[in-house]
Amino acid sequence: MIPVIVVGIYLLVIAIIGSVAFRQSKASTEDFFLAGRTVGSMVFFLSIFATNMTAFAILGSSGQAYRQGIGIYGLMAASSGFLIPLTIFFIGTRLWAIGKRFGHQTQVAFFRDRWECSGIGTVIFILSVVMLVPYMIISIMGGGRVLHDISGGMVSYWAGCLVVALVVTVNVFFGGMRGTVWVNIFQTILFLLFGVVALAVISQHLPGGFGERIASMSADTKTSFLVTRERMPERYFWSYTLIPLSSIMFPHMAIMCFAARQVTAFKRTVVLYPLAIMAIWLPCVFLGVIGAHLYPGMKNPDGILLRMLTENAPVWLAGILGAGIISAVMGSDTHQVLAVSTMFTKDLFGHYGGKEKYGEKGSVHFARGFIVVVTAIAYVVALVTPESIFELAVRFAFSGFAAMAPVMVAALFWKRSTKYGALASTLWVALCLAAVWWLQNYSNAMAPKPGQAAAVIFPALGHLFDRSTANVTSYGFLPVVPMVFGSAILMIVFSLATRPPSTETIRKYFETTQARKDAA
């Protein structure tokens, strides 16, 4: 009961912050979607980090470590700590400047203007929404499951999903971006503390201590794979280093970049980002590995941390730590809901005449109405659809957004890039996603068990398409590898083969304001 009360208080605080932010809001889309581009340095860091971290960072990381061992840290956390700050540094800062100069509030608005084409923006919009919405739905599912587990079953899954959907809706509906970033301050601090506190509490109760456990696992051939990477293929590990390219391409991350008050806000963010990832992932991965030794054979390893906390932490502390997990769920979910609403309002409603007809105030009303409708639909879908479908869709979405990174890089840094290059890349990504989805389902029956060699899907094609336990691979590489390189090649080839945008547009995006003034 106590954990439910603690989490309940936490959710109430979140809703209150959203309503306080409402009182400070103005009736403009820039204020609602981007907090008037006034997010300061530290808040920017806390908020962009919350945007990118989901419950996976706590529950999924420990669950994956339970299944695959310590390699998960290098595979997902260390590679993200390297690449995400780099993309924020090179891409995020440029997006911020372009948004500031020309008033863009979404990536799609930038692409449309940069390549002088409405259609390319619409195609990218459709693909982005198709990839983002499953992520939003699975966040609601994750929140419902966590509330159910923390409460020991007192809160049913449907009620848990409902609570998460309602709190997210209230927070975003009233507060917009301002409410969301205010809440993020509280949320990020809470879940950054989660790992360290969980580690300290569990270590107090663990018989023999961590060192003895690790030594014992290392000495036993049945468990040694958990403390090494002997079951993790090197090509799989390398392939994964491309996945964090997706981060800046997720609409909620890119939109967050538009919201900073000054570009200097990015300085602190990019330096602290790898350390913040480490603060969450390292304890969670470590505890997941220890948990695999303590409680072998769990049917749902994602519940390992909750089980360790329930058995080793006082109930009030388990409640606070539960609130930390919910923070991770909601921090990201609120940004996803806001991003979908921003895109529909700016890239569809506003772009196709809604803004002229209904004005700024009408656009904000549309956005608020959309938020209610989209979370209601997401909630219903979360109840009636198996989670596994969305887990797969989200996995593919990371590859898809990563493969869209060459489009953004070309738009920002390559004058000669064209809308046809962007279109070819986008269609390539969509085609790959459809093909991999089909191959994944087709090969489910032949998926090997963990530790076994990958199965060849079509013997006549050799290792072009293999099936590992969880993924389709190509010569041992994850699909993200051909997707990213194919996208980059198509961008280059089709751009070189077609006419570039007008000189006026190229000057607009590639010359500084001063240079253009001087030239004039």
Partner 1 sequence: MVMKKTLLTLMVIAVYVLHQDFWNWRTAHPIIFGILPVGLAYQAGYSILAAIMMAVLVRFAWPKHLESAAPEKPASPPKEGRA
Cβ proximity of 116 and 502 under 8 Å: yes
Number of other CB atoms surrounding residue 393 within 10 Å: 19
Residue with smaller CB distance to partner 1, 15 or 253: 253
**Within a 10 A sphere around the Cβ of 264, how many other Cβ atoms?**
12
Q: What is d(CA 402, CA 415) in angstroms, rounded to the nearest whole number?
A: 21
Going by C-alpha positions, the residue among 226, 200, 229, 230 that lies closest to residue 290 is: 226
Identify which of 186, 129, 508 has the alpha carbon closest to the alpha carbon of residue 345. Answer: 129
Q: What DSSP assignment string belongs to 452-513?
A: SPPEESSGGGTTSSEE-SS-EEBTTB-THHHHHHHHHHHHHHHHHHSPPPPHHHHHHHHS-H
3-state SS, residue 228: coil
CB of 289 to partner 1, least distance (A): 8
End-to-end Cα, the chain, rounded Å: 70
Considering the complex, what minimum distance in angstroms separates the CB of residue 256 from partner 1?
17
Neighbouring C-beta atoms of residue 72, cutoff 10 Å: 26
Q: Which is nearer to partner 1, 116 or 387 (CB)?
A: 116
Q: Output 110 or 398, the one with its CB closest to partner 1.
A: 110
Q: How far is the CB of 457 from partner 1 (least distance, A)?
A: 27
User: With respect to partner 1, which residue has the nearer C-beta, 157 or 210?
Assistant: 210
CB of 258 to partner 1, least distance (A): 12
- Residue 260: helix, strand or coil by DSSP? strand
Q: Encode burial over 395-420: b for 16+ CB neighbours within 10 A, e otherwise.
A: bbbbbbbbbbbbbbbbbbebeebbbb
Give the C-alpha separation, 161 to 373, whole Å: 15
Beta carbon of residue 415, minimum distance to partner 1 (angstroms, whole number): 13
* Residue at 49: amino acid letter: F
**Residue 428 is which amino acid?**
W
In angstroms, give the least distance from the CB of 209 to partner 1. 8
User: With respect to partner 1, which residue has the nearer C-beta, 102 or 475?
Assistant: 102
Amino acid letter for position 388: S
Rounded to a whole number of angstroms, the minimum distance from the CB of residue 371 to partner 1 is 23
Shortest distance, position 128 Cβ to partner 1, whole Å: 17
Query: Smallest gap, in angstroms, from Cβ of residue 126 to partner 1?
Result: 17
Cβ of residue 516: shortest distance to partner 1, in angstroms? 9
Pick 190 or 284: Cβ nearer partner 1: 284
Degrees (nearest 5) of the Cα angle 365, 368, 370?
105
- Smallest separation (angstroms) from partner 1 to the CB of 167: 32
Nearer to partner 1, 465 or 494 (CB): 494
CA distance 227 to 71: 8
* Residue-by-residue DSSP string for 33-75: HHGGG-B-HHHHHHHHHHHH--GGGTHHHHHHHHHH-THHIII
Q: How far is the CB of 447 from partner 1 (least distance, A)?
A: 24
Give 310 or 498: the residue with its C-beta nearer to partner 1: 498
Which residue number, 469 or 498, has a Cβ lying nearer to partner 1? 498
Cβ-based nearer residue to partner 1, 279 or 455:
279
Please say whether the beta carbons of 349 and 363 come within 8 A.
yes
Our CB check for partner 1 shows the closer of 68 and 139 to be 68
Of 406, 399, 402, 401, give the one whose Cα is nearest residue 424. Answer: 406
Shortest Å, Cβ 215 to partner 1 = 7
SS3 sequence, 264-322?
CHHHHHHHHHHHHHHHHHHHHHHHHHHHHHHCCCCCCHHHHHHHHHHHHCCHHHHHHHH
- Indicate the residue among 200 and 275 with the shorter CB distance to partner 1: 275
Q: What are phi and psi of 448, to 5 degrees?
A: -75, 160
Rounded CA gap, 450 and 446, in Å?
Answer: 13
Specify the residue, 86 or 447, whose C-beta has the smaller distance to partner 1. 86
